Amino acid sequence: MTTDRIFLSTTIPYVNARPHLGHALELVQADVLARHARLAGNQVRFQTGTDDNSLKNVLAAEAEGIPAAELVGRYAAAFEGLREPLALSFDDFIRTSSDPRHRPGVERLWQACADSGDLYQKHYEGLYCVGCEQFYKPAELAEGLCPEHGTEPQLVAEENWFFRLSRYAERLYDLISSGQLRIEPAARRNEVLGFIAGGLEDFSVSRSVSRAHGWGIPVPGDPDQVIYVWWDALGNYITAPGFGTDAAGYHRWWAGAGRRVHVVGKGVLRFHAVYWPAILLSAGEPLPTEILVHDYLTIDGAKISKSGPVAAAADPAALAGRYGTDAVRWWLLREVPRVGDADFSQERLIARANDDLANGLGNLVSRVVTLVHRYRQGIVPEAGRPRHGSGGSGPGQDVSGGLALADAREQAPERVAAALAAFDFRAATAAVWAIVDEANRYTEQVEPWHLARAERGGDAAAGERLDETLALLAGACADLGRLLKPFLPDLAARIRAACDGSSGRLPPAEPVFPRIG
């Protein structure tokens, strides 16, 4: 076991509406990585938060006729409130407008880049998408519209501060192509390398106070300008650990951490894999070590928007309230592929939970506990790894299924670790599920009830095989209670309680996951 300090973050969403299922996906993925790393003996700082200083937030507040601070406060609370319904284990939640750690850190980051000679003033005209908070070149637009939002960008002309991104193209290319800054999956790394190879232009990192509607962090020494919201937002990754306010905390959780991992959506990859590392290079601070990129969800075939009926149909807190935390997490982890968008529907969530958690896993645990009570008074027999078939033809002689189950149990921890290292949640959950499938197959194959009948008829060997079978199945259930901890912390705890023989006997059989619908 290697003990290491790991910084792990989600992106911080802007908060002009309630969280949607896409946010839940990123939070749950990061949560699984955090829980798994902690269980492996690492010290983990799992951080999330909200991007309060986005212009979109201001516009939403103006549309409602309320102060921006009130609107972002309301929605930031909704994001932080996902902790319980999604069983999230984040250690830190930073709000960029109100957290006292943030502004001093952003100002210091700005100053560090200025000291490196990487900030300069320039008149600029460009097409700006408020939805993306980003300038687009005409060639990057889709028939004149933002490729992310399908909206018309606005023409902006002002005197802005620029960041000398062009200076870092070569170093970024080397860091990413060498894997010192690892980007998963590989297709996303190649996308970033292609973008860098195409040439990096300096980018605008401020806007006028009037265009920012007076909201945001002023440029140090230039009160007419506000720091570009992406600069401000990206800064959260180091301001929360303590950059600019708490040197020891910053060293502990960022500069001196063994790994610095960002989980991000594909739409903001360029900001995290190009702009952010370049800013850190300029400031002389350590870069992230890994950027793990997920694709998007659609809901009933439609792209998720922040508000409207599509988002409302998949409100993560409401889904968890209706179907339970385990069902929501399981759909996100089991059905969303590593590459490619996934389509969510409530029917799919229900079917997945009932097939896997109620039928596959729930029935297995209930059955094993029931068999141990029926044939062994609730006491799990002791037995080692199953022996090879001894050539007999009686019930329980074919133990090949037992060997497959033993193999699935032995291999699962390593397969889970390898899959999570590759940011592949489907492969990780599949490794756990091999135990469920093999255990159910083994039970059908061995037919413990026939062994019990033979034992009652005086066949001592059948009794031994029944001991062996029940021990193997109970061990498999105990493994599931441990292995599922990072994925389904609540259900895993119920499995461990159902299989807890520390009092001498297992508790009476109770369903660990009743069917939903």
- Rounded to whole angstroms, the Cα distance separating 430 from 434 reads 6
Dist CA 88 CA 90 (whole Å): 6
Binding residues for Zn ion restricted to 412-451, rule: CB under 5 A: none
Answer whether 254's CB lies under 8 Å from 265's CB: no
262 is catalytic: no
Q: Is 122 a catalytic residue?
A: no
Q: Toward Zn ion, which CB reaches closer, 259 or 303?
A: 303
Q: How far apart are the first and last CA of the chain?
A: 42
Cβ 330 to Zn ion shortest distance, Å: 32
Choose which of 91, 148, 447, 490 interacts with Zn ion (CB under 5 A).
148
What is the torsional sign of CA 328, 334, 339, 341? negative
Task: Identify whether 113 is a catalytic site residue.
Answer: no
Say whether 23 is catalytic.
Answer: yes
Q: Please state the closest distance from residue 190 (CB atom) to Zn ion, in A.
A: 23
Tokens of 297: 């969800």
Q: Are 250 and 45 in contact (CB under 8 A)?
A: no
CB of 60 to Zn ion, least distance (A): 15
All residues at 6 or more sequence positions from 306 whose CB lies less than 8 Å from its CB, including other chains: 16, 17, 18, 20
Place of tokens 């339970």: 324
CB of 153 to Zn ion, least distance (A): 7
Catalytic member of 20, 102, 272, 485 = 20
For residue 228, the minimal CB distance to Zn ion (Å) is 15
Residues in 76-135 that interact with Zn ion by CB under 5 A: 129, 131-132
Interface pick for Zn ion out of 146, 196, 234, 333 (rule CB under 5 A): 146
Q: Is 146 a catalytic residue?
A: yes
The two structure tokens encoding residue 162: 């620029």
Distance CA 68, CA 66 (A): 6
294 catalytic, yes or no? no
Provide φ and ψ at 36, rounded to 5°.
-65, -45
Q: Is 36 a catalytic residue?
A: no
Q: Which of 5, 38, 83, 149 binds Zn ion (CB under 5 A)?
A: 149
Q: Is 306 in the active site?
A: yes
* β-sheet bridge partners, residue 189: none
Binding mask 216-255 for Zn ion (x = CB under 5 A): ----------------------------------------
Task: Pick the catalytic residue from 132, 477, 485, 499.
Answer: 132
| Strand-by-strand arrangement of the 206-208 sheet | 206-208, 222-227, 218-219
Please report how close the Cβ of residue 439 comes to Zn ion at its closest, in angstroms. 49
Active-site pick, 36, 56, 113, 129: 129
Q: Do residues 96 and 49 lie in contact, with contact meaning Cβ atoms separated by under 8 Å?
A: yes
Q: How many residues of this chain interact with Zn ion, rule: CB under 5 A?
A: 6
DSSP 209: T
Beta carbon nearer to Zn ion, 135 or 487? 135
Query: Which residues bind to Zn ion, rule: CB under 5 A?
Result: 129, 131-132, 146, 148-149
Catalytic residue list: 20, 23, 129, 132, 146, 149, 303, 306
